[in-house]
Each structure stands twice: as structure tokens, then as C-alpha cells.
Amino acid sequence: MPLLDIKNLTLEIETANGWVKALDKINLSMEANEVRALVGESGSGKSLVVKSIVGAINEGWQLTADRMNWRGQDLLGLNQSKRRNVVKDEIAVIFQNPVSSLDPTASLGEQLEETIPDFLIGRGWFWQRRQRRKQLVTRQLQKVGIKNHDLCLKSFPHQIPDDICQKFMIAMALVSEPKLLIADDPTRGMETTTKGQILKLLARLNQTKGLSILFVSHDLLAISSMAQTMTVLYCGQTVEAGRLKKLRKRPLHPYTKALLDSAPSFSKDLLPKSDLSALPGTIPTLQHLPTGCRLGPRCPRAQKECVKIPSMRRIHEHHYSCHFPLHRPIR
């Protein structure tokens, strides 16, 4: 049974121009031990997918799906707060810019102690419980490779460097021993050495603890070093998904090809809201969504049929959504 199994997730949100589908039939699945990359230009809906999974979307937005299961349990049958409770202990999320995700008025030690659930502390006298709490806090810091425990725990978020802060966020996220870690652009804006350390840590957690990771990123180099599978989004639609090696070698969707062509050696980040070097124009805003395939106005292979939404097709484990995929000649 997959850990996460999402089919045709659609999120409608209200804009100045009325209701629009910010996410339109997104498919995403995760197996135990898997590291899946979720990629796409800025504005393609990656963070909205993450928020939909953990139940952190605005009240009033309309979320529907043919299937949205977590370890076999239907999440859609639950309201947002129940959904949050179900996933709270089993799915952890870390965001880019860790400093702003932490409370600036409390020391890191206080914040980490607060996240430790009572069942991990057990029973006993208060000093025994306090001692147990301290042991658990230290163990968490060891897990993520933070060495100077005392200094780190006494510090406030703005007093420590970025890499330690992101490692600390990962330590907080792992307290409840989640089955899935969602890392939403965790290394954005970090310099190369720091980025390398965070990626190494995530890879180690996957290999030694069997932690599944949904790795949301712009950084194709990081993705290629971490992920086994990849899902590509464009403007709220899933355009292609499959084994990373296959997608790199033989993309079937014009957008995936443009992404790969814009970073030929996989050695630079995708540019945010950019002209991809292989495609003209920029990603549309929610107020100006094209009908049918949303890549249409930018797509070199677009034809009349593309005003209809292409359905998802598959060749073995390789899924793509395009009327004129690259392996078929255009008439």
C-alpha cells in the first residue's frame, strides 16, 4: 500500500476574477522509503500541494479529489482540523527560510522541548521527566549532526547560522518520528556548502531511518543527488511523473524537456518565474489561466486540440499529460 496516494486533486480558490482552479487534477503518490522530487517553476503550485496534504489551506477554498489517502485512510472524508490531527504525527513539514518559521522570542531549547509529546516522556517524578526530556532533546540534536548542544539550545533563532537553523528545524520535525518528511524548498538561498550539508543529512535520514521524503525544489542538482522519482508540475497541473532517470533521459512532455534544457548539466537552479531558455513567455497568473493545457501559449508543439485538457496517460510507470508527447511525431 502506498504511504500517500492522491488522484485528481483539485483546489479552487477565490480571486478578484472569481473562482479558479489553482490546482487542477494533481496526481501524486509516495511509497515507503521513497524520495520523490516535486519540481516546477515558481508559481506552479508546489506549496499549495504541500498545504493541501497537511490541511493548511484557507477555510473556504474548495478541495476535491478522486482519492486522497494517507496509509489507506481517506483524508477527504475529514475536515481540515481532523486531517491535521491524522497527519500531525506521521507527516512533518520543513520550509525554506527556517528562521522565520521559529518563534523569535523563545530559545531553541524551549521550542524543541515543547514539541516532545508526553507519551515519549513517560511517567515518573517531575525531575525524572525533566531529565528524560533533556535526554530526548540532546538525542534529536545528535541525529541531525548539531555538535555544540548547549550553545545551540540556549540560543535564539536569529543568533545561529542558517545551516544550524535548518538542521534544527529538521530535528524538530523528526521528534515524532514521522513516516514522511515534506521539505518545501529547504535549501533555497543557501550557499553551496550549507546546502550540501542539509542534502547529506536528508539523504542519510532516508537511507538509515527509511524516512520517505517529498523534496520540493528548484535545484535540479540537489534533486538528481537525492531523488529516485520526480513529479513535474506546471501552473497547477501535473505534466509528467516517473523514475527520475527515465525522465532525465527521455522526457515525454514539452515542459519537462524545457526544464531540463534550461539546466543542461543539472548544475544550476531553475530560475524563478523565468523565461525557461527553451520556452518563450512566463508562467500565467491564476487570473489569466489558458483553457485546456495550460502550457498551450508557450508550447512549441501546441495544436488546436490543446484547448482541451489532455488526460494522464502512462507507459509502464512513466505518466505524462500531453496531446502531442515528444515520442510521437506531430502531423
- Rule CB under 6 A: which residues touch ligand SF4? 254, 293, 295-296, 299, 301-302, 306, 310, 322-324
Q: Which does 306 bind (CB under 5 to 8 A by kind): ligand SF4, Mg ion, ligand ADP, none?
A: ligand SF4
Q: Confirm if 243 and 48 have CB atoms less than 8 A apart.
A: no
- The option from Mg ion, ligand SF4, ligand ADP, none interacting with 310 (CB < 5 to 8 A, set by class) reads ligand SF4
Name the pairing type of β-strands 212-216 and 180-184: parallel
The CB-of-235 to Mg ion minimum distance in angstroms stands at: 13
Q: What is the widest separation between alpha-carbon atoms in the chain?
A: 78
Note whether 97 binds Mg ion by CB under 5 A.
no
Residue 254 interacts with which of ligand SF4, ligand ADP, Mg ion, none, CB < 5 to 8 Å by class: ligand SF4
Q: Which of residues 27 and 206 has its CB atom nearest to ligand SF4 in the complex? A: 27
CB 8 within 8 A of CB 26: yes
Q: 85, 277, 285, 303: which one contacts ligand ADP (CB under 6 A)?
A: 285
CB of 105 to ligand SF4, least distance (A): 49
Q: What is the full DSSP assignment across 237-269?
A: EEEEEEEHHHHHHS--SHHHHHHHHHSTTS-SB
The Cα–Cα gap between 237 and 40 comes to 10
Binding piece for ligand ADP, criterion CB under 6 A, among 44-52, 80-88, 254-262, 316-324: 44-52
Q: How far is the CB of 270 from ligand ADP (least distance, A)?
A: 10
In angstroms, give the least distance from the CB of 289 to ligand SF4: 13
State how far the Cα of 181 lies from the Cα of 168, in Å rounded to an integer.
14
Q: Which strand (E) or helix (H) includes residue 222?
A: helix 220-226
* Cell 508559481 sits on residue: 43
Tell me whether residue 154 or residue 308 sits nearer to ligand SF4 (CB atom).
Answer: 308
CA 236 – CA 8 distance, rounded (Å): 11
Sorted by sequence, the CB contacts under 8 Å of residue 321 that are 6+ apart come out as 237, 238, 239, 240, 253, 293, 310, 311, 312, 313
Q: Specify the length of the chain in residues.
A: 331
Q: Are 14 and 57 in contact (CB under 8 A)?
A: no
Task: Report what 48 binds from Mg ion, ligand ADP, ligand SF4, none; CB cut-off 5-8 Å by kind.
Answer: ligand ADP
Q: Which 247-266 residues touch ligand ADP, going by CB under 6 A?
A: none
Q: How far apart are CA 93 and CA 314, in angstroms?
A: 30
Residues 13 to 52 in contact with Mg ion, rule: CB under 5 A: 46-47
| Cβ-based nearer residue to ligand SF4, 168 or 320 | 320
Scanning the structure block, which residue is given the C-alpha cell 489551506? 57
Residue closer to ligand SF4, measured from CB, 41 or 185: 41
- Is residue 153 at the binding interface for ligand ADP, with CB under 6 A as the rule? no
Question: Which residues lie near ligand ADP (CB under 6 A)?
Answer: 13, 22, 40, 42-48, 285-286
Question: Which residues lie near Mg ion (CB under 5 A)?
Answer: 46-47
